[in-house]
């Protein structure tokens, strides 16, 4: 990565404004954090700054309050969890801008950590307001972006602050860029990618960009229905992006020209409805009834995918194989997750719901790298510039 990182700047006793991604899942009933993996992912940068006597000011969003104060989305529970993990008290500000926050920042000493309140309590955050970005920038001497998961957004705290303060990458963002960039530049072959999830349109850029790098593509999940329809299969009531059927056909032709093998489901689980009481039925992809919808890959497909993955040296996976939030339709996804975790190849998970599955199954320690950015990783692998990365200082820059 040709961008400066927190290692390249002097931070001792400076006010270091760090954009982190603490958008963690919270149990609405209890207010408890159910998965702290995003908090833990930011620890290397936070600890680096604490050890070098920086005054650390963390900023993040949580949920989608749409510019309003929502008590259930306050960041106090996050600060409490971070305090427990760090073994030191993390302060919580009453807001993320304004005189009271400035007083809290001014009271910080070297090695202290302060978490500001939810950025998205202000609508100016998502609109990319320059005034809001300047108000945030006044709190720091330097800016560190360690929130890869939101770096594809041109929000005030991502792209805006970087225009008013010297801006560098955090250690997590650096690792994300280097790891995902390695898939595009130097994957160890055979390189096999597994794609699922609902939409083809979200992954077109990435599919086009990695086509010349992969040896094989395995396609499941909702997006498989679009590919099956492009092969003239009846897919019933399954979710199909009609505008993407032609795109899928074009991708399959390009894969054939490039010598890339595409493996689609040969059997699927279908159901009449999508709810917790629904019952699934295994059918061949050639025998999907017009009133049914695909909810998971079938057992033959699981085995076919398993065989397809066996010889891989590098595996990238993004997107579930079915509607995994309904237990009876999660078998395909869990089978693929278990096999990838035990494979022994270099394994990279593309963030989002796929990462949540890996963590929920307790498989994270068996995966080489789990990205913290679903949408960000798709855009980066699709060759798009990320606003939160492009504005960081280049390696040859001088920060005074």
Q: Of 47, 199, 261, 366, which one is the catalytic site residue? A: 199
227 and 160 part of one domain: no
**pLDDT at position 199:** 85
Task: Give domain status of residue 394, yes or no.
Answer: no
- Nearest C-alpha neighbor of 158 from the set 387, 393, 394: 387
52 and 78 part of one domain: yes
Question: Which bin fits 53, alpha (ψ -120 to 50), beta or left (φ > 0)?
Answer: left
Chain center to CA of 90: 25
154 and 238 part of one domain: no
Task: Give domain status of residue 296, yes or no.
Answer: yes
Task: Give domain status of residue 360, yes or no.
Answer: yes
Task: Give domain status of residue 182, yes or no.
Answer: no
Q: Is 352 a catalytic residue?
A: yes
Q: In the chain, how many H helices and how many E strands? A: 15, 15
All residues at 6 or more sequence positions from 158 whose CB lies less than 8 Å from its CB, including other chains = 19, 145, 147, 150, 151, 387, 388
Q: Of 236, 322, 352, 374, which one is the catalytic site residue? A: 352
Task: Give domain status of residue 400, yes or no.
Answer: no
H or E element in which residue 181 lies: helix 171-185
**pLDDT at position 33:** 93
95 and 198 part of one domain: no
Task: Give domain status of residue 168, yes or no.
Answer: yes
Of 112, 142, 174, which closes a domain? 174
**pLDDT at position 137:** 98
| Cβ proximity of 105 and 114 under 8 Å | yes
| Cβ proximity of 270 and 277 under 8 Å | no
209 and 166 part of one domain: no
Structural domains in the chain (count) = 2
Q: Of 63, 308, 375, 382, which one is the catalytic site residue? A: 375
Q: Is 375 a catalytic residue?
A: yes
Residue 400 clears pLDDT 70, i.e. is over it? no
135 and 105 part of one domain: yes
Average per-residue pLDDT in the chain?
94
168 and 191 part of one domain: no
82 and 195 part of one domain: no
Q: Is 74 a catalytic residue?
A: no
Q: What is the dihedral of CA 282, 285, 290, 296, to 10 degrees?
A: 50
The whole model's pTM is what?
A: 0.92
Confidence label for 29 from pLDDT (cuts 50, 70 and 90)? confident
Task: Give domain status of residue 391, yes or no.
Answer: no
Q: Is 199 a catalytic residue?
A: yes
Q: Which domain holds residue 158?
A: 6-174
Task: Give domain status of residue 390, yes or no.
Answer: no
299 and 369 part of one domain: yes
CATH number at residue 285: 3.40.50.1260
Q: How far apart are CA 338 and CA 352, in angstroms?
A: 18
165 and 208 part of one domain: no
14 and 155 part of one domain: yes
Q: Of 14, 15, 19, 38, which one is the catalytic site residue? A: 38
Per residue in 287-310, is it b (16+ CB within 10 Å) or e — as a string?
ebeeebbbbbbbeebbebbbebbe
Question: For 144-184, what is each residue's pLDDT tens digit?
Answer: 999 999 999 999 999 999 999 999 999 999 999 999 999 99
303 and 376 part of one domain: yes
């Amino acid at each position: 990565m040709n961008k400066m990182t927190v290692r390249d700047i002097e931070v001792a006793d400076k006010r270091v404004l760090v954009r982190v991604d603490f958008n963690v899942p919270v149990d609405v009933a209890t207010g408890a954090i159910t998965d702290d993996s995003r908090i833990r992912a930011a620890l290397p940068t936070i600890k680096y700054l604490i050890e070098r006597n920086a005054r650390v000011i963390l900023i993040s969003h949580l949920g989608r309050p749409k510019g309003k104060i929502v008590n259930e989305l306050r960041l106090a529970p996050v600060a409490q969890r971070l305090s427990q993990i760090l073994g030191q008290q993390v302060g919580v500000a009453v807001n993320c801008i304004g005189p009271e926050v400035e007083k809290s920042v001014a009271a910080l000493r070297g090695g202290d950590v302060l978490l500001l309140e939810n950025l998205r309590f202000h609508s100016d955050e998502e609109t990319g307001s320059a005034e809001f970005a300047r108000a945030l920038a006044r709190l720091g001497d330097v800016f560190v972006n360690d929130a890869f998961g939101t770096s594809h957004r041109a929000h005030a705290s991502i792209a805006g602050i970087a225009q008013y303060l010297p801006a560098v990458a955090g250690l997590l963002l650096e690792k994300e860029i280097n790891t995902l960039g390695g898939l595009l530049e130097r994957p160890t072959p055979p390189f096999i990618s597994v794609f699922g999830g609902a939409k083809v349109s979200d992954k077109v850029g990435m599919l086009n960009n990695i086509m010349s790098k992969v040896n094989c593509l395995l396609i499941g999940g909702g997006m498989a229905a679009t590919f099956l329809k492009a092969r003239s299969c009846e897919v019933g009531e399954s979710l199909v992006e009609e505008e993407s059927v032609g795109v899928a056909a074009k991708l399959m032709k390009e894969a054939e020209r490039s010598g890339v093998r595409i493996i689609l489901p040969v059997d699927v689980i279908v159901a009449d409805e999508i709810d917790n009481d629904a019952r699934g039925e295994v059918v061949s992809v050639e025998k999907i009834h017009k009133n049914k919808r695909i909810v998971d890959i079938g057992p033959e497909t699981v085995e076919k995918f398993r065989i397809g993955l066996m010889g891989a040296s590098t595996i990238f996976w993004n997107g579930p194989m079915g509607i995994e939030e309904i237990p009876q339709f999660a078998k395909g996804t869990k089978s693929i997750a278990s096999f990838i975790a035990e494979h022994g190849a270099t394994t990279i998970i593309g963030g989002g719901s796929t990462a949540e599955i890996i963590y929920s199954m307790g498989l994270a320690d068996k995966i080489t790298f789990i990205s913290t950015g679903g949408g960000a990783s798709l855009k980066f692998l699709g060759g798009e510039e990320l606003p939160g990365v492009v504005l960081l200082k280049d390696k040859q820059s001088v920060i005074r």
